[in-house]
Amino acid sequence: MAVAICIAASTASFAQQGYPNKPIRLVVPFPAGGATDLFARTLSQKMGEKLGSSVVVDNKPGAGGGIGSDLAAKAPADGYTLLLATTSTHSIGPALSARLPYDTVRDFTPIDHVGNAPSIMLVPNNSPAKTVREWIDYARKNPGKLNYASSGNGTIVQLTAELFKSQAGVFVTHIPYKGTALAIPDMIAGNLDVMFDSLPTGMPHVRDGRLRALGVTSLKRSPLAPELPPIADTLPGFESSTWFGLYGPKGLPADIVGRINTAANQALADPEVKDKLARLGIEPVGSTPQQFAKMVADDAAKWKKIVIDRKIVNE
């Protein structure tokens, strides 16, 4: 028995040393053409070059990212199936549903925090507020009279607005849309008072003079829109970003985790990758697996508190 165990361990070690020796599948739990998919395709090409094997994007959309995430969680822990997860799948999803087919901590191996996409605070041009402070003062003087748009119940757009309301101490009515793009015409017409839209989709309207941006949701100024002050300058600690991260199934060997982490961080440092991500409105990050795990734990706890305190449901 001892000999068999030694042989098995030796075989496993040899297989890991030869990793990778076939294509790696990167599961994207959202449709092709979206931000997560485009990020995956940008990252996978350079990662493949660093690993010496192709990294193939496999879109498995559905259930708010749950279908693809579950598939990745149940794959063999051999490094040949990875997941590009987001805030939706591993921070907000668990807070909104106790019936996910996977446990975001128990069923995955964290590998790397690869990117953040901050949002911006948009107001119509007819808004009396020119700064975040002025908008908060305006809302406090008009409790219940102002509204905010979102891309639907339980989305990062709604939760960001609710986090803002909580920290600012204001009462603003929620108007959900089926996507922020559908709310933009009403924002431009002055029928909506505020919306926290993603930077790449919101900034073109600001730069074309159709809307006004008051601040960015990252803790520091974003290199993608350096002219915008952080909302945290007015509300200390305020932060909301869509994060992107690489996971493997639970039990992924540490040496394989290390190889993938190194390749991903090297890819994120590549000028070509940085340029492509900037055009997507995504800031490259890079981390250790431990730093990534802690970030997700803190982020999930923050959104769970908002979901419970603000009684948010995913309808």
pLDDT digits 0-9 by tens, 142-191: 999 999 999 999 999 999 999 999 999 999 999 999 989 999 999 999 99
Contact 289, 65 (CB under 8 A): no
Amino acid at 178: K
Percentage above 90 pLDDT, the chain: 87
Domains identified in the chain and CATH numbers: 22-117+241-309 (3.40.190.150), 118-233 (3.40.190.10)
Name the most confidently modeled range: 13-22, 57-66, 287-296: 287-296
Strands 81-86 and 241-249: antiparallel
CA distance 136 to 236: 14
Residue length of the chain: 315
Supply the mean pLDDT for the chain: 93
Name residue 122's beta-bridge partners.
Answer: 195, 213
Q: Is pLDDT of 16 > 90?
A: no
Q: Which amino acid is at 144?
A: G
198 forms bridges with which residues in the sheet?
119
pLDDT tier for residue 11 given thresholds of 50, 70 and 90: very low
**Helix residue ranges, H only, the chain:** 2-17, 35-51, 66-73, 87, 93-96, 132-141, 156-168, 180-188, 199-207, 254-268, 271-280, 289-309
- Residue 131 pLDDT grade (very low, low, confident, very high; cuts 50, 70, 90): very high
Does 136 score more than 60 pLDDT? yes
- Count CB neighbours of 159 within 10 A: 25
